[in-house]
Every structure is written in C-alpha cells, then in structure tokens.
Amino acid sequence: MFPTNLLTLSFIFTSLTFAQDCTLQFDGRIPGTLTAAGFDATNQFFGSGNVFGAGLAFSQLIQLPAIAGSLFDTATVPLEVTISDQSIFNAQTGFRRAELIPASNSGTDASTTGIKTLHFSLMKDAQRPLNLSHEYQLVFLESNDFSTNQVVLKTGTVLGKATADPDTLQLFGNVNDGGGKVLFSTPFAAGAFHNFAVTLDFDALTTQVFFSTGAAPLKAVTQAVANDVSGQGQFHFGVLKKPTDGGADITKSGFQEAGIDEGVIFGGIFQEDSSDNCVSLSA
Ligand SMILES: *[C@@H]1O[C@H](CO)[C@@H](O)[C@H](O)[C@H]1NC(C)=O
C-alpha cells in the first residue's frame, strides 16, 4: 500500500511538472516528410509568402540538417533558416533577412491575446557561422502596426548597446522602452540546442523566461516581469542581419559585406495556452 501510494504521488508530481499537455495555439514542429519545397506551398506550419528576399523562395533558403531533434521534437525534425547576399526583403537594402511566421499567426489572432507561452530551440550551424560584428534578430514578436518588437532574441554586436561578448543570446523586452531591457542572456555555445519558453501575459503585460540546454528540462530563469507586450502582431523565427553602421534608417543604409552564407538551426517551435498556468517544461 505505502509503496503504491508513493509511486502514484511521484508519478502525479512528474506529470504535473514535466509533461503537461497544455492546449496548443500553434505548432511549427515539422515532420521528417516535409521537404524544403514544402515550405513554398501553403502548409499548416508556416506562411509560404514571407519573409525572404525578392525573387527567392523558401525552398532556396530552408535547409533540413540531419541532426537529432530538440527538447520538444519527439516526433519532429529541426530546420535551418539561411541568408545570402540575395536576402533583401521589401527593398530593405540595409538588412539581410529570412524568417518563418506561423501559418495561423495573422497579426490579430489569439496567439497575442490572453496568456500564451512561446517555445523554440535554436542551435548554431558550424558550416554557416554568423558574423558577430553584426547584430542579428533570431526570434521576435513584431507588433501589428510594425512600431515595435515586444520581445526579441538577439545575438552579435547589438546596435546602441554595450555588448560585452557578442557570442551571447540576449532576450530583450519591448525595444520602444529604451532599446529594450535585457530579460535574460546566456552564452550561444556551439553544438547544442538552446531551449527557450517565454510566457507572454497580454493582459497583465508581463514576460517570464524559461531556459535549458540540450535535453535538460526547462527551468524558470526569471519571474514574470513587467514588459509591454501589447499591440498583437507576428512571431518571426530566422535570421535578420543588421548593418554595422546605418545612419537614420538602418533598413535602407549601412554596411553589409558580400559573400554571406549564414544560418541558424531551429527546433521545437510551438505556442501553448498558459491561461491555466500550464507551461511544458519537457516533452
Ligand atoms: C564581418 O563583418 C564585418 C563588417 O561587415 C566585415 O568587415 C568582416 O569582413 C566580416 N568578417 C567575415 C569573416 O566575414
């Protein structure tokens, strides 16, 4: 009797803490059967129309590296977003960029209302290293009126900020608040997935960060801190490379060297409903 109870208790504790089945808002975890060309067609995972350079298509920039999945990729596979000299979107000649946006994320949908937790994992590609003289945005929520990023994960030399070590992942809050407060930062080590969960309370206007590397379960690394996440918008996952110097409008000016062949590997992109405090810490 006693051992049985103990077992039951420990099982319940484990299921509550590490394997919650939270309601999904969107799921960008892709099956191994999806090809790069599959990103050009309408699909259930990501929008096929943008963001990528004029004249390009996702099939020219998505790579499907044959590596093990991330923490939440139990039956799904990682993908890589790459940029080249051709990655000039919407005449933004100061940027080189390519990003995936979840298929259901219109800018005014429920992914930016209530309380939601955004999950993603990312890893360096040793074959396509970033140039840390530049600032990169790898994951961000851009408001529906394009006036701000309410949360943004950056690496490299962040413009307007003192960057002690550019080989760092820095998660900033709303950039209209003095360029954004650093909510969490961690070294961007080679050869391992960096797993993030970011709980966005669109009512209380707070953000809480969870983090782990490799196969370790997520742990809270911040409390829910004040951060203006209002304004709805779209979640971007990819590589947005800024110029090293830009003047008044860095979207249109500034230095970008030629010969770009850079990429970042993503896994486990999904969002869950956390209105009942449900946050998955491992798969
Ligand atoms: C890194 O970027 C800087 C600024 O664009 C450039 O001068 C330098 O050549 C780049 N380094 C490499 C290795 O590409």
The model's pLDDT over 119-134, given as tens digits with 9 standing for 90+, comes to 999 999 999 999 999 9
Of 95, 131, 245, the residue with max ligand 1 atoms within 8 A of its CB, to mutate for a pocket test, comes to 131
**9 has a pLDDT exceeding 50:** no
Q: Average pLDDT in the 15-25 region?
A: 67
DSSP state of 36: G
pLDDT over 90 percentage in the chain: 90
Q: Is the pLDDT of residue 17 over 50?
A: no
- Give Cβ neighbours of residue 186 (< 8 Å, ≥ 6 apart): 168, 169, 194, 211
Which of 85, 136, 253, 257, when mutated, tests ligand 1's pocket best, judged by the most ligand atoms within 8 Å of its CB? 257
> What are the residue ranges of helices labelled H in the chain?
2-18
Task: Compute, in angstroms, the gap from residue 217 CA to the centroid of ligand 1.
Answer: 36
Average pLDDT over every residue of 85-96: 97
Residue 19 has a pLDDT of: 54
Which domains does the chain carry?
4-15+101-246+260-267 (2.60.120.1160)
pLDDT band at 250, cuts 50/70/90? very high
- pLDDT at 20 (0 to 100): 61
Mean pLDDT of the chain: 93
d(CA 129, CA 135): 13
Q: Is 244 in the pocket of ligand 1 (CB under 6 A)?
A: yes
Answer whether 133 contacts ligand 1 (Cβ < 6 A): yes
- Per-state percent for the chain, helix, strand, coil, to nearest 5: 10, 35, 55
Please tell me what DSSP assigns to residue 157: S
**What pLDDT does residue 247 have?**
79
Q: What is the distance in A from the centroid of ligand 1 to the CA of 88?
A: 18
**Ligand 1 atom nearest to 259, measured from its CA:** 14
Distance in angstroms (rounded) separating the CA atoms of residues 53 and 139: 18
Coil, helix or strand at residue 274: coil
Q: pLDDT of 211-249, one tens digit each?
A: 999 999 999 999 999 999 999 999 999 999 999 987 789
3-class secondary structure for 96-148?
EEEEECECCCCCCCHHHCCEEEEEEEEEECCCCCCCCCCEEEEEEEECCCCCC
Please tell me the distance between residue 132's alpha carbon and the centre of ligand 1 in angstroms.
Answer: 8
- Average pLDDT for 244-255: 88
Q: What is the pLDDT of residues 154-172, one digit of tens each?
A: 999 999 999 999 999 999 9
